[in-house]
Amino acid sequence: MSPKLRKFVEFCKDFSSNKVALVAFFIFLLILFVAIFAPLVSPTDPYDLNTVSIMNSRLPPFSEDFSGNYFFLGTDGAGRDMVSAIFYGLRVSLGVGVLSGIFALIIGSFFGISAAFFGGRYESIIMRIVDIQLSFPSILVALIILAAFGKGVEKTIIALILVQWAYYARTARSSALVEINKEYVDAARCLAFGNTRIMFKHILPNCMAPLIVVGTLQTAHAISLEATLSFLGLGLPITEPSLGLLIGNGFEYMYSGDFWISIFPGVALLITVASINLVGDHLRDMFNPRLH
């Protein structure tokens, strides 16, 4: 067995020691599968106007319409099958959350590692900006961007990137500061490698573990924040129905007792966010040297 593979097997064993995290991980994989293959696994296409009938609006769970379509979780105000709407909503929610997380990871680790590498005035300016930004609650940062520039897919993603990048920058800098003093960095410098190469080919891979931990927890946070913003009507437009929008749509039927339109998308959101959080929590414990 190659050393890399052995390390990976060891990591898997270590991860499986916590049964709750393992179950959460498999639930997350299932959700990811459903989100990616939503058009294939959904019973109907909820946004195809030919199949959606207003006659079926607000059917309770476990009901059937005249042409024999079965609605396991009922239908919403426009007669869409809730199961399908949730599957498509997961796709949008996860897509926006993961995309913004990846961008924030790239931007944050770039600034974090370069700050640690160059130090001096550059470092203090970057870290001061990070500190100032982290002193604002995430929802306020998102609110400022979306209130000032209006709603939309790109704007929501930009707002989520802005909310998250500072966490990545701080994590990347603190682990890069430790790495920089190690011998392999000196060795790379002696070989006269360029700064960019040392920073991103040598230091970055060794900072990945804490960045991944922050990444999982931040992605969960981003998904939940996007849902909140879309519910408020500030995030995604109605053409991109995320789980938050589905919950918001159901809110108007709440007072007439049609609970399923709001509740089930929320349950899907809760399971998604909780499973990511549980995995992230366990990863954090695994990488925390103080607990070993």
Partner 1 sequence: MTAFIFTRFAQSVLVLFIMSLLVFGGVNLVGDPVEMLINPEADQAEVERVIRELGLDRPVTEQYWYFLVNAFKGDLGDSFIFGEPALKLIIQRMPATLELALFSLFISLIIAIPLGIYAGYNPDSKASKVIMAGSILGFSMPTFWVGIIFIMIFAVQLGWLPSTGRGEIGTFMGINSSLFTLNGLSHVFLPALNLALFKISSVIRLTRAGTREIILQDYITFARSKGISEKRVVLIHVLKNILIPIVTVVGLEFGSLIAFSTVTETVFAWPGMGKLIIDSIYNLDRPVIVAYLMIIVTFFVFLNLIVDILYTFLDPRVRIKGDHQ
Binding residues (CB under 8 A) for partner 1: these are 124, 128, 132, 135-137, 139-140, 143-150, 220, 224, 227-228, 231-234, 244, 247, 250-251, 254-255, 257, 259, 262-263, 266, 269-270, 273-274, 277-278, 281
Element housing 63 (H / E): strand 63-64
Compute the distance between CA of residue 290 and CA of residue 2 in angstroms, rounded to an integer.
29
Identity of the residue, 152 or 210, whose beta carbon is nearer to partner 1 in the bound complex: 152
Of the candidates 80, 45, 42, 82, the residue with the CA atom closest to the CA atom of residue 61: 82
Distances (CA, A) of 237 to 153, 172, 246, 247: 7, 34, 12, 14
Question: In whole angstroms, how close is the CB of 291 to partner 1 at the nearest point?
Answer: 13
CB-nearer residue toward partner 1: 207 or 215: 215
Closest separation in Å from C-beta 26 to partner 1? 17
Shortest reach from residue 200's CB to partner 1, in Å? 29
Nearest distance from C-beta of residue 227 to partner 1, angstroms:
5
Judged by beta carbon, residue 52 or residue 142, the one nearer partner 1 is 142
Q: Which is nearer to partner 1, 26 or 251 (CB)?
A: 251
Burial of 219: CB neighbours in 10 Å, binned 0-12, 13-18, 19+: buried
Distance of closest approach, residue 83 Cβ to partner 1, in angstroms: 18
CA distances in angstroms from 272 to 28, 73, 94, 99, 268, listed in the order given: 7, 18, 9, 16, 6
**Residue 192 CB contacts under 8 Å (≥ 6 apart), including other chains:** none
The DSSP bridge partners found for residue 99 are none
- 181 φ/ψ angles, rounded to the nearest 5 degrees: -85, 5
